[in-house]
Structure 1
Amino acid sequence: MRLVWWALLFAAGALPAAQAQQSASPAAAGVALKGLQVAPKLQVHKNIDENDMSTFLVADKIENDQDGRVVLTGKAEVRRIDAIVKGDRIDYQRSTGDVRVRGNGLILRDASLITGPAFDYNVDKETGEISEPDFWLGATGGAGTAARAEMFSRNHMRLTDVSYSGCPCPDPAWYIKSPKVDLHFDENEGIARDGVLYFKDFPILYSPYLSFPVRKERKSGFLLPTYGTSSSGGFEVSVPYYFNLAPNYDLTLIPRYLSKRGLQMGAEFRYLGQDYGGQFYGTYLPNDRAADRKRWYYALQHVHGLGGGLSASLDVRRVSDDDYFRDFSSFGLSESSYTYLPSSAGLSWSGQQYFHASLYAHTYQTLQDKSGSYLLPQYDRLPELYVQGARYNWGGFDLRSDNYATRFVMPKFKYGTHPYPAQASGLQPYQSYDGTRFSSYTTVSYPIMRAGWHVIPKAGLHLSQYSTDWHGFSAPFTPALTPGPRTQSRILPIVSVDSGMTFEREASLFGNAAIQTLEPRLYYLRVPYRDQSQIPVFDTYYADFNFAQAFDENIFSGGWDRIADADQLTIGLTSRWLDEESGFERLSLSAAQRVYFRDQLVTLYPGDTIRTKTKSDYLFAASAALTDKFFVRFDAQYNPESRDRNRMTAGVRWEPKRLASLSLSYRYKRDPRQVIDPQVQTQPGYVDATKEQVSLAGQWPLANKLYAVGRFDYSLAEKRSTQSIFGLEYKGDCCWTARVVMQRYAVSREDVNTAMFFQLELSGLGSIGTDPMRLLRERVAGYQSVTTPIAEKTTFERYE
């Protein structure tokens, strides 16, 4: 965080430029009462010439002498529209512009207040000197003292022996001392020499030279350093430097030293134009001592509006090696679990009311885990053309057409990570087939929506054409003596009817008045059979069976390389209990099942088990807010024949008060191959991909000011902990919070990383140490910061 705590620059009080405040319009203020007129908010008058400002003199006694001097004594005040000067005695020499204030001197301007026993000031030259000033800053809420303040011009002020704190408490927990501070207001720059940060009267940070912004606007200079430690990188520290190059672009250099690996250089460049914007981020380590090689990462994003509904975008991400995120991740699983890095570039057009089109190229960098099984890369799409036409409520009809033309290219095998996946000779360097796919899906529906019920008949036609380079494959890793045909096509009609009703009745839940609903839903789908066994599979997978998919048109997800034949009816039922007064949903129960009228013939790959059951698994879901502080949820996929659960999640969360929450969750997902074919477990070399995990997370007060926070994830399938987080937070009396967070997480099938974060947060200043807040917010459900934010200050904070 930038050293905004040095913003004591506003101590000048009488020198900053006025900030404009927009008046409130009737629209912004809301609907006014009849007969009343909305008045504008307080606002700063700007662009007023000095000669047009009226000056008001107030005192118990006002005297003029023959030399043009005005003497104000007894509660003396000089007021203008932009400033107020007060004192026991004020002498003003009109011919020279000199002002002498003696006794209880005060200057108020732009909500910044400066006081002192005496000061001399020249209103024409805007120079002067204040002895022993105390100041309060309207922009930041900070305050401080100095032995002396010298004003050389409206732009330049120098403070001597400064003590400053952004903490608004009577006894600040932290403050900064510096023997000399120069403030340059037009340049938005302050320069402090030999600055020392004190916490609880103990020095914790020193810098011989500090450059900082004097207003809230951005300013070039060093940012607060961050530091931490991890088992993969050792002790680390980074000292970023920020360059405010222009109002619409900036640059941050981020040198980062890791004791086990060396000095890593990083940079972030951001820019924003009228029709474009983007950012670039990259790191480079010339010689990683632990890995004995150079390591790097870069990410580039750019968007550009070209006019006429045409826009361009670029998103490129690449790393030097598979283990980069495992070795350099700062926030655990959010980065170390990356397996694919996507990149894309292309054009998008939406210049017509009913049409949209795009042309993109997509590539993926696959990050392999050497300790796990080989991960087949995703297909690059080089390129993909998409054209959509849609018009809704056209004489009651909804029409839509989605059209794709995609060239799929499988990346060549990358040596040095795993043995070559296919051992048959003559197949290198290929891993799978390539090809081009043309597809078009056009639908027309006639929604009939009425109060309490709806019926949506829908008919569609799916057209596909493939041109394939098989390279000796008929399926991934499966060499074939006779590859599939070079070109082939497919035409399939798809017909469905979606219907539902909603019934309501008055009821009660836990003794409270409620409205209960009963919502039956029927979805019929008819798709004829087409032999698709010779069609390549580029980006299609078996979809998870859930409530959304149960009412979908295909059991396969992705690019429609397979369209399942269907003659089926999905039956769903939902019942809700809503608070009668607020409408808040207290309880929801849902169930669904498919009924099949014939066997399924289309499978993803030849040899996959064909479904012969007449009914699908049951789907169940329940969620309840048993009280305003206790919540329960549950959903499951259950096989009534084998009495096996194929998928299940459950969780409870309790939030009895602020900064106190506990949650427990359970997740189970059977290997999809077992769901399709239970006998797959007996095949040689089979690796069970079933996932089963328990998670416990929470935040809880241990004492009046001490809080514990953490999360524990345990994989029952792997019989190991995949992530452990434990932290302590101590909320100080005023303006400070200390945190220590330890994290242990899996970065591969065999390796784990342990990291520790420490942070001392000083309200009004920033934080020292690596920031664990993002980690806590992402991983601990219901986490709340113990820090009470300081209220935003305004220009009228000390308005008189």
Structure 2
Amino acid sequence: MLVTVPKYRLFFGGEILVRLAWLAIFFAVGGAATAQAQEPAVGTPAASTQLAPLQASPKLNLHTKIQDNDIASFMVADKMETDQDGKVILIGSAQVRRIDSVVKGDYIDYQKDTGQVRVRGNGLIMRDGSIIRGPAMDYNMDHESGEVDFPDFWLGAGGGSGTASKGEMFSRSEMRLNDVTYAGCPCPDPAWYIEAPKVDFHIDDNEGVAHNGVLYFKGVPLLASPYLSFPLRKERKSGFLLPTYGGSSNSGLEFTLPYYFNLAPNYDLTLTPRYMAKRGVQLGSEFRYLGADYSGQVSGTYLNNDKQAQQNRWMYWWQHQQTFGGGFYANVDVSKVSDDNYFRDFSVIGLNQATTNYLPRMATLGWSGAKYWTASVQAYTYQTLQDTSEGAGYLAPPYDKLPELYVRGARYDWGGFDVASTNYATRFVSPVYKGNVPQYQPYNGIHILPDGTRYSSYNTISYPIVRAGWYVTPKIGMHLSQYNTEWYGLPQYAGFPRTQSRAVPIMSVDSGMTFERKASFFGNDAIQTLEPRLYYLKVPYRDQSQIPVFDTGLATFNFSQAFDENIFSGGWDRIADANQLTLGLTTRWLDESTGFERLSLSAAQRIYFANQYVTLPGGAPRLDKKSDYLVGVNAALTDTLTTRFDAQFNPENNKRNRMTAGLRWQPKRLATLAATYRYERDPQQMSNPAIVYNPNYVNLTKEQVSVTAQWPLTKKLFTLGRIDYSLQEKRSTQSIVGLEYKGDCCWTARVVYQRYAVSLKDTNTAVFFQLVLGGLGSLGTDPIGLLGRSITGYQNITSPVPDKTTFERYE
């Protein structure tokens, strides 16, 4: 016997729980309201007049032991009928909601005891943000399994969607579809899709598997596979990554097919076979790991018997960071390659890697567990990669540090004083020179440079006086050092002492002021500043000609170094004597409303009150009374046009020693033009102009012009490029030309041509192709990193798409 129920909302199971919950809420709120209405008693302390906070009733606790079958079902329909067996028939705009699943349709019959739902007409199943539609479906809400005819489906937050002839749901996370068309792009008319007679979705594993699937782009098949795996969400999963391909003049046509192992949430592995037509098959790998107190990665490559070089080629790189507690930590950065030309032959990311000259290997154990003290012990070694082309010259390897102990203590604003102590103890081991090196003896088991140990301690005390608009900072310091040197009887060091000490006091006074006034900049209200700065430095002369030079060089003279304590950089093997005053002046124009800097002009120069006699080996004493002029200009002439200019001029001979000039115009997004000019005279010429007459002298002056661009040709087609031309070498050192196409939805295409110098005489030519399919990945070599480094102001033509959430389709 059927009973017709005129009401259209019913609860099954859990009615008593719901009623008890509402009663508990009523009494809890009513009790709180009564408490708020009571007046405080006369004589009650003021603190007791504050109302007691609300407290949750224990009757409202969540019942975690309730079985899924005992959770209430909620149904909606225009008409409902039930029979004696408990089957409910819902007709017209029917819905059944239970736990987090929703079933809809024109007609539903629901057996509560078994959880079985039969839907006919406009069926819909929603769970975890995923939606499946079909004209007819049978579904079990208890087991979350069933079948659906001719389904249309949307898979959760990933946005993947498609159609099929039949769907089978085995559980919440397992589903199989037949005769499937699938696309991971949310567009109405996706540019790419996958067709397969059978697709298995493993939702918890974030994997879809198309059996005998074909990947189509614009209706054209690109890739076919009997087992095509693809991600369902933006999460990691094991499987083959999309292949990459390209080519270069060094290696010929290239093809890679990476395989990714998602081993655990905190570590993974990628294996990358790389076929190079001219060289053979190279195997690359990368292992990443992450723990609570450590992280790192290990990567490497191996090519057995390179067909071009006729030798095995390899590379490895290990980075590790570790914390031990108590302020202790450790870092490791170790890398090595098989030969000098490894990066020149195998680089596919452009000029930066191909011109790698030094590979440092470093291990550090440090401590920073005290308030004012830090310490570390480090070991440094280097692999120096020589340019083996004819006429390239020899690159001197740096000293190894085996090891270096560092201790620093500092306390600031200690009764107004800043106190610091920096201490090093370093063992320097001379590098090994290979072959016949003109400026060194051949290495035949004998030492050609000294080894030694350097102990240094620099202790300073300063008293900063800072007031509104001005400051003065007097500072005094004492640099103490001792050298224990093994000269190995080398004739050029005859008579040099094995042990020697040095004590150099350093005194300076730094001062500056800032003035402001209202002004106008091209008719706009502005604030102009005037910022003079004076820096006086006094360092007495100490004869250092017999001290070895382990890691010290001449610093680049710029606005920062002009106000430094030493003209030598690196270690403290040379401390320049000084009696000098540095004058600096900067003026800025700032927008009055925003503070944006429209224009800044800077100038600086040193005035020398005495000659400087401390030099590096082979250098000449400085006898000038004034240093080079430093000038700098930075201007934002409009909101889209900026320019900068920096230069170093010699006032004695009116020659430039360094110069940089740049102009950048960016009228809108994805439209940028930039040009830069750089000049740097060989530092050896600046310290000793007569060196140009040395017959063995190699001029290292650099002069280069760079032009970069990214510009729209149409609304969808963009061009980009870069040209670096060395005026000193009279050749192009890098050229990049490319085209980018932005598709209607979910796809982008790029082709990039690059030619770059890998040595003094050799160049490499490479071509990159890339097709980016939104929601799937990219085919071809990804040049985005190269473009971002090389093209000034480069912007990706694909706007970032915000991630969707599980609740995107929540009802």
Same topology, TM > 0.5: yes
The residue that corresponds to 1:734 in the other structure is 745
Assess, with a 3 A threshold, how the Cα gap between structure 1 residues 47 and 230 changes in structure 2: closer, same or farther. Answer: farther
Equivalent-residue separation in structure 1 for 2:440 and 2:428 (angstroms): 23
Equivalent-residue separation in structure 1 for 2:704 and 2:66 (angstroms): 67
Q: Residue 463 in 1 paired to residue 474 in 2?
A: no
Equivalent-residue separation in structure 1 for 2:802 and 2:751 (angstroms): 26
Q: Residue 398 in 1 paired to residue 418 in 2?
A: yes
Counterparts of 1:178-217 in structure 2 under 5 Å? 178-217=196-235
Q: Residue 383 in 1 paired to residue 403 in 2?
A: yes
Task: Tell whether the 8 Å contact from 2:68 to 2:142 is kept in structure 1 after alignment.
Answer: no
Shift of 1:648: 0.3
Residue type matched to 1:106 in 2?
Answer: L
Task: Tell whether the 8 Å contact from 2:160 to 2:232 is kept in structure 1 after alignment.
Answer: no
Q: Residue 507 in 1 paired to residue 519 in 2?
A: yes
Counterparts of 1:476-555 in structure 2 under 5 Å? 479-480=491-492, 482-555=494-567
Residue type matched to 1:119 in 2?
Answer: M
Equivalent-residue separation in structure 2 for 1:454 and 1:139 (angstroms): 57
Deviates more, 1:73-82 or 1:45-54: 45-54
Counterparts of 1:358-757 in structure 2 under 5 Å? 358-371=376-389, 372-415=392-435, 419-422=436-439, 429-473=446-490, 479-480=491-492, 482-605=494-617, 607-757=618-768
Shift of 1:135: 1.1
Task: Tell whether the 8 Å contact from 2:93 to 2:105 is kept in structure 1 after alignment.
Answer: yes
Shift of 1:205: 0.9
Equivalent-residue separation in structure 1 for 2:461 and 2:210 (angstroms): 70
Q: Residue 795 in 1 paired to residue 806 in 2?
A: yes
**Partner SS for 2:312:** strand
Deviates more, 1:45-54 or 1:398-407: 45-54
Equivalent-residue separation in structure 1 for 2:737 and 2:66 (angstroms): 58
The residue that corresponds to 1:278 in the other structure is 296
Equivalent-residue separation in structure 2 for 1:425 and 1:78 (angstroms): 88
Equivalent-residue separation in structure 1 for 2:568 and 2:70 (angstroms): 76
Task: Tell whether the 8 Å contact from 2:182 to 2:195 is kept in structure 1 after alignment.
Answer: yes
Equivalent-residue separation in structure 1 for 2:325 and 2:288 (angstroms): 22
Assess, with a 3 A threshold, how the Cα gap between structure 1 residues 409 and 143 changes in structure 2: closer, same or farther. Answer: same
Shift of 1:765: 1.6
Assess, with a 3 A threshold, how the Cα gap between structure 1 residues 737 and 248 changes in structure 2: closer, same or farther. Answer: same
Correspondent of 2:187 among 166, 169, 177: 169
Equivalent-residue separation in structure 1 for 2:66 and 2:452 (angstroms): 70
Task: Tell whether the 8 Å contact from 1:472 to 1:483 is kept in structure 2 after alignment.
Answer: no
Counterparts of 1:301-380 in structure 2 under 5 Å? 301-371=319-389, 372-380=392-400
Deviates more, 1:213-222 or 1:588-597: 213-222
Shift of 1:68: 1.7
Residue type matched to 1:86 in 2?
Answer: K
Equivalent-residue separation in structure 2 for 1:46 and 1:786 (angstroms): 50
Assess, with a 3 A threshold, how the Cα gap between structure 1 residues 742 and 100 changes in structure 2: closer, same or farther. Answer: same
Equivalent-residue separation in structure 1 for 2:434 and 2:64 (angstroms): 65
Q: Deviations over 1:413-468 (max 9, x none)?
A: 234xxx23456689754341111000000100011111100000000000010011
The residue that corresponds to 2:771 in the other structure is 760
Q: Deviations over 1:618-669 (max 9, x none)?
A: 0000000001100000000001110100000000000001110000000000
Residue type matched to 2:408 in 1?
Answer: Q
Assess, with a 3 A threshold, how the Cα gap between structure 1 residues 424 and 797 changes in structure 2: closer, same or farther. Answer: closer
Q: CA RMSD in A?
A: 1.6
**Partner SS for 1:436:** strand
Correspondent of 2:788 among 765, 777, 781: 777
TM-score by length of 2: 0.90
Equivalent-residue separation in structure 2 for 1:426 and 1:87 (angstroms): 87
Q: Deviations over 1:374-398 (max 9, x none)?
A: 1110100000000000111111110
Q: Report % sequence identity.
A: 67
Task: Tell whether the 8 Å contact from 2:98 to 2:141 is kept in structure 1 after alignment.
Answer: no
Which protein shows a greater Rg? 2
**Partner SS for 1:161:** strand
Task: Tell whether the 8 Å contact from 1:265 to 1:285 is kept in structure 2 after alignment.
Answer: yes
Shift of 1:275: 1.2
Unaligned segments of structure 2, at least 5 residues: 1-62
Equivalent-residue separation in structure 1 for 2:430 and 2:225 (angstroms): 54
Q: Deviations over 1:544-567 (max 9, x none)?
A: 110000000000001010000000
Shift of 1:80: 3.3
Equivalent-residue separation in structure 2 for 1:215 and 1:738 (angstroms): 23
**Partner SS for 1:293:** coil
Task: Tell whether the 8 Å contact from 2:158 to 2:232 is kept in structure 1 after alignment.
Answer: no
**Partner SS for 1:674:** helix
Correspondent of 1:106 among 115, 124, 138: 124
Correspondent of 2:274 among 256, 271, 286: 256
Equivalent-residue separation in structure 2 for 1:412 and 1:689 (angstroms): 24
**Partner SS for 1:139:** helix
Residue type matched to 2:520 in 1?
Answer: S
Equivalent-residue separation in structure 2 for 1:125 and 1:511 (angstroms): 74
How many pairs does the alignment contain? Answer: 747
Shift of 1:81: 4.8
Equivalent-residue separation in structure 1 for 2:663 and 2:166 (angstroms): 61
Equivalent-residue separation in structure 1 for 2:689 and 2:162 (angstroms): 74
Structure with the greater relative contact order (CA < 8 A, sep ≥ 6): 1 or 2? Answer: 1
TM-score by length of 1: 0.91
Task: Tell whether the 8 Å contact from 2:155 to 2:232 is kept in structure 1 after alignment.
Answer: no
Assess, with a 3 A threshold, how the Cα gap between structure 1 residues 781 and 52 changes in structure 2: closer, same or farther. Answer: farther
Runs (4+) of structure 1 exceeding 6 A deviation are 45-48
Assess, with a 3 A threshold, how the Cα gap between structure 1 residues 452 and 123 changes in structure 2: closer, same or farther. Answer: same
Task: Tell whether the 8 Å contact from 1:455 to 1:500 is kept in structure 2 after alignment.
Answer: yes
Task: Tell whether the 8 Å contact from 2:433 to 2:443 is kept in structure 1 after alignment.
Answer: no
**Partner SS for 1:776:** helix
Q: Deviations over 1:219-247 (max 9, x none)?
A: 11111111110000110111111111111
Shift of 1:215: 4.4
Task: Tell whether the 8 Å contact from 1:135 to 1:145 is kept in structure 2 after alignment.
Answer: yes
Deviates more, 1:678-687 or 1:528-537: 678-687
Q: Residue 92 in 1 paired to residue 110 in 2?
A: yes
**Partner SS for 2:561:** helix
Task: Tell whether the 8 Å contact from 2:69 to 2:142 is kept in structure 1 after alignment.
Answer: no
Shift of 1:788: 2.5
Task: Tell whether the 8 Å contact from 1:763 to 1:789 is kept in structure 2 after alignment.
Answer: no
Q: Deviations over 1:174-229 (max 9, x none)?
A: 11111111223444443321111100101001111134444443211111111110
**Partner SS for 2:809:** coil
Task: Tell whether the 8 Å contact from 2:508 to 2:537 is kept in structure 1 after alignment.
Answer: yes
Unaligned segments of structure 1, at least 5 residues: 1-44, 474-478
